[in-house]
Amino acid sequence: MLTETATPGDKPRRSAASPAEAVVLGGGERELQPLIAHFPSSPRAAQLARRHAVRWLEERGYPPASDVSCTVALVVGELAANAVQHGRVPGREFGLRLALDRAAGLLRVEVADAASAKRLPTAVPSSSPEGESGRGLLLVDALAVRWGSAPRRPVGKTVWAELGLSSQLPTE
C-alpha cells in the first residue's frame, strides 16, 4: 500500500496547463484540469510519476490508501517503468497525463515516450512464472477497463489505460 505522496523537492516539469486550474464542463460541473507532467527517462522518475499521480488523486478526494489511488499508483508505475526501460531515448523525457471523467466513472492514464522504433503493444505479452519481469502489462490488463497504445506525433508512442472508479466517488 502506498502511504506517501511525494517528498519535498520531487517536482516534475509541468506543461503550461496547471493541474490546479478549474474548468467548467458541459453540464456546469466543475472539474480540475488533468495532470500533465514530464519526467527525465530514469528509474527514479518512474517512481516520482507514481507519487505525483497519488498526490493529484488526493487533491480530488481519493486518499493515498484508497483502492482507486493504489490501483492508479500501480498502473502509472508499470507504464512509466516500461517507458523508461523500453522507450528510453537519451536526452528525451517521458510524459504522464491523468484525466478524470467523473460522469463516465473513468480515470485515463497516459504515458508517452519518444521511442517510435519499438513495436506498439497490442496485447498482453506472455510471461514465464519464473521470470523476473514481463508482468507489468498483465497487471495493467487485469486492472484496466481497457488499454492500448497509439503513435505519438511527431515521434514516439503513448500507452494508455482507462480505470474504473469505485461507485463511491468523493464529492467536491
Dump pLDDT digits (tens) for 65-105. Answer: 999 999 999 999 999 998 888 877 776 889 999 999 988 99
User: How many angstroms separate the CA atoms of 145 and 150, rounded?
Assistant: 17
Residues in contact with 95: Cβ distance below 8 Å, sequence separation at least 6, in sequence order: 36, 37, 38, 39, 110, 111, 112, 113, 158
User: How many angstroms separate the CA atoms of 80 and 87, rounded?
Assistant: 10
User: How many angstroms separate the CA atoms of 38 and 151, rounded?
Assistant: 18
Task: Specify the pTM.
Answer: 0.74
CA distances from 4 to 22, 47, 53, 65 (A): 25, 12, 11, 9
Identify the residue with better confidence: 134 or 2. Answer: 134
Dump pLDDT digits (tens) for 3-35. Answer: 333 333 444 454 434 333 344 334 444 455 899
Q: Tell me how crowded residue 162 is: count the other CB atoms within 10 A of its CB.
A: 18
What confidence score (pLDDT) does residue 77 get? 95
| Span 127-144, average pLDDT | 73
